[in-house]
Amino acid sequence: MSKSPSDLIPTPEARRVAPNFITEVIDADLQAGRHTRVVTRFPPEPNGYAHLGHAFASYLDFMTAQDYRGVCHLRMDDTNPEGETQEYADSIIRDMQWVGWDTSRLFYASDYYEQLYQFAEQLIRKGLAYVESVSGEEMARLRGTVDQPGTPSPYRNRSVEENLALFRRMRAGEFKNGEHALRAKIDLANPNFKLRDPVLYRILHASHYRTGDTWCIYPMYDFAHPLSDALEGITHSMCSLEFIDNRAIYDWLMDNLFSEKETGRTPPRQYEFGRRSMEYTVVSKRKLRRLVREGVVKGWDDPRMPTISAMRRRGVTPESVRAFAAQIGVSRTNRTVDLAMFENAVRDDLNTRAPRVMAVTRPLKVTLVNLNEERMLSLPYWPQEVSSPDGKVLLPNGERVPAEQAVREVPLTRELVIERDDFSADPPKGFKRLTPGGTVRLRGAGIIRCDEVIQGADGEPTELRVTLLGEDAKASGVIHWVSATRGVKAEFRLFDRLFTVPEPDSEAQQFDPEQPGHEDEAQPVNTDFMRFVNPNSLVVTHGLVEPSVSRDPASARYQFERAGYFWRDPVDSRDTAPVFNRIITLKDTWVRKADAAEPKAESKPKPEKKADAAAPVRPTLTAEQDTVFARLRKHGVTENDAHMLAREPQLAAYLEAAGDTRLAELAPWVVNDLATAIREGTNRVGVKELAALVTLVAEGGISIRIAKDVLAEAQTSGEAPANIVDRKGLRVVSDEGQLRAAIQGVLDANPAKVAEYRGGKKGLTGFFTGLVMRATNGQADAKTVARLLNEMLG
């Protein structure tokens, strides 16, 4: 007997990804029969190495698919030949495999170039695309402003035949870069600038790392990404929140190229989740490239970098990366994650994986004056409190043995080394290590008393002469040690956080709208973040490690007692000259005095279920449903939303109460934000209250992002969304004095850009607007900002 799609919905205990607003949509889609399997995709751009942000995004894509017994594609969104390389593509594939993902379903957007081109011609033939011949700056000017609709280009009404001929000549390489572009013909008056005739193709005479010089026109991300999803049969396309406005282009392309009538299948839909940035680091690949280019780090795999390649080289395990990604949680808002959350995930993993041995990273010589011959000690790899339920523990070679068998031989010789910091001639109060005349226990070897301190010419101690005492002596503390004559010489690389402040991007932020609108690149740009680089992010020392490690495999990870977790550097370490990377310290050394709270944690997901699938087909509407569908489409509701509303009477009934007013604006909110609550009978926001909120957005009273947060709060509290906006003071800032101050701060921080604007580069208006919006937390009145910018820039 065949199973229904709803059978694919995992039980709560079987979920690897914690329930969230996207899984609620997937559950509803399967229950309603809109899809018969779940197909997701992880689509990095190969213009840099994958980083920890990709770990979270890929976890969401791959694990969501696994939870629903579906599949996830790894696709290189390689539509921008400038900066994309085979090295980057290979590194991403390698990193995704290391994290633990199945990369057998590997795709490249560049493989679809011919199909994408044919789709562009199809739009031209439908009268939905045209060849533009004005300059880029003029195109930006013609798009209008927040309070003025766009102006049609003189080339907007070219005939289909002329557009096809010009587009084919563009492909043939007859024109220079920027001479022409292909634009969609949508709506120049739309408040969403993304729909004001966006560019679909640009001329770019650049060699592509896979297609070479075959093409001199390349599709834009907003064109190639949705169509690649549709070609691959993706059902749920998840991306970060800055692409919320791009969803309108996504839906427009689906309606006009992949409608149910044309394909017989439910086209994919886009869902946006909050981006996760991390404290004490940057994840913009533009910034990471700069760190590499300027020699701040020694390559993309430098263990101080937040790249996955760097984590692998540092010694972090894929299990801890997945555990970290699982803890972050999915929400509708952007959040900054405390780096301690990642570090603690690494510690938790290594605590039961890394046997304990001794190493001295900053040696101070110690002579046991009453030890005349070498002794061989048998010391345990693990403390008694660390063991599995079966009583077994790991050896450095990965073998599991009973705890009592997990021991190694450690030579105790007349000459030892201890950590220089474990001795003080003038100890501070509470010092529990070695002092002149004081006693301390050597780990596993006995108690010693310091009888004599030998000093160098600089007055610093160079040798301690001590006596080994009996077990009846008292000791102030315990320190580790290594034989000076039998220990293995080694280099120790003590890595720490790369930046000295939690948010190195927080000052002098800039936003560059001229950069490609890709998920990996749509981030703030900060020319000053480099001044926060931690000068002590790498400290190299030389010391000794106990000789037992020389017999262990290179992949062994250790806890060097009291020093941290380490492993051999896989690039620079040699059998005769080992180099050990510190993976992580034993404790968080960055706990802020003003906030010694535990790291912020979000809900933990639950175990996983495995995968399989078949092809998605949109269910046929009944005659009654078709009537509802036709009415909604007549009022401007997108095909995807209309189909869903027509098939679900509860949703349609909720929207029906609004009459014919603003259906096209209300429908996406019902489908994307209220559907689950309406189905479950828990909705606390009436359609009139929703309409009031949507009106605030349409009139520029609040931003879409604020509106979504307010709507979520209203569902919890039952308070009208508009009341929440007023109570919290979330409306736009329109006070001219306040806005002038914000604008002046932006202009003062960007004199070079101001000069470029006044020199004729008027396209920078969006650049300045973005900065002012950031300075006012997105609450600045866009119309007033536009007017004041025009006035103050001259």
What is the residue-wise DSSP string for 632-697?
HHHTT--HHHHHHHHH-HHHHHHHHTTTTTTHHHHHHHIIIIIHHHHHHT-----HHHHHHHHHHH
CA pair distance 215, 466, nearest whole angstrom: 76
| Coil/strand/helix, residue 493 | strand
Among residues 16, 41, 45, 313, which one is catalytic? Answer: 45
Q: Give the DSSP H or E segment for 337.
A: strand 335-337
CA distances from 366 to 429, 459, 495 (A): 24, 17, 27
Q: Give the residue among 778, 759, 735 at the shortest CA–CA distance from 793.
A: 759
CA pair distance 679, 723, nearest whole angstrom: 25
Q: How many residues does the chain have?
A: 794
783 is catalytic: no
508-538 burial, b if ≥16 CB within 10 A, otherwise e?
Answer: bbbbbeeebbbbbbbbbbbeebeebbeeebb
Cβ neighbours of residue 483 under 8 Å, at least 6 residues apart?
Answer: 410, 411, 412, 413, 415, 416, 544, 546, 547
Please report where in the chains the tokens 């160079």 appear, as a residue. 462
Specify the DSSP class assigned to residue 11. P
Q: Strand pairing of 564-568 and 579-584? A: antiparallel
CA pair distance 733, 83, nearest whole angstrom: 39
Among residues 285, 433, 582, 633, which one is catalytic? Answer: 285
Please report where in the chains the tokens 């535990």 appear, as a residue. 598
CA pair distance 437, 125, nearest whole angstrom: 93
CA pair distance 648, 625, nearest whole angstrom: 9
CA pair distance 225, 219, nearest whole angstrom: 9
Please report where in the chains the tokens 């002329």 appear, as a residue. 162
285 is catalytic: yes
45 is catalytic: yes
What is the residue-wise DSSP string for 342-406?
HHHHHHHHHHTTS-EE-EESSEEEEEETT--S-EEEEEESS-TT---TTSEEE-TTS-EEEGGG-
Interior CA angle at 12 toward 11 and 18, to 5°? 130
Q: Give the residue among 273, 232, 233, 229 at the shortest CA–CA distance from 251.
A: 229
CA pair distance 199, 517, nearest whole angstrom: 12
Please tell me the number of Cα atoms within 13 Å of 508 on its side-chain side.
Answer: 12
Give the distance from CA 780 to its chain's centroid: 28
Among residues 143, 247, 269, 275, which one is catalytic? Answer: 275
CA distances from 510 to 524, 711, 771 (A): 6, 30, 6
722-745 burial, b if ≥16 CB within 10 A, otherwise e?
Answer: bebbeeeebbbbbeeeebeebbee
Which residues have a catalytic role annotated? 45, 275, 285
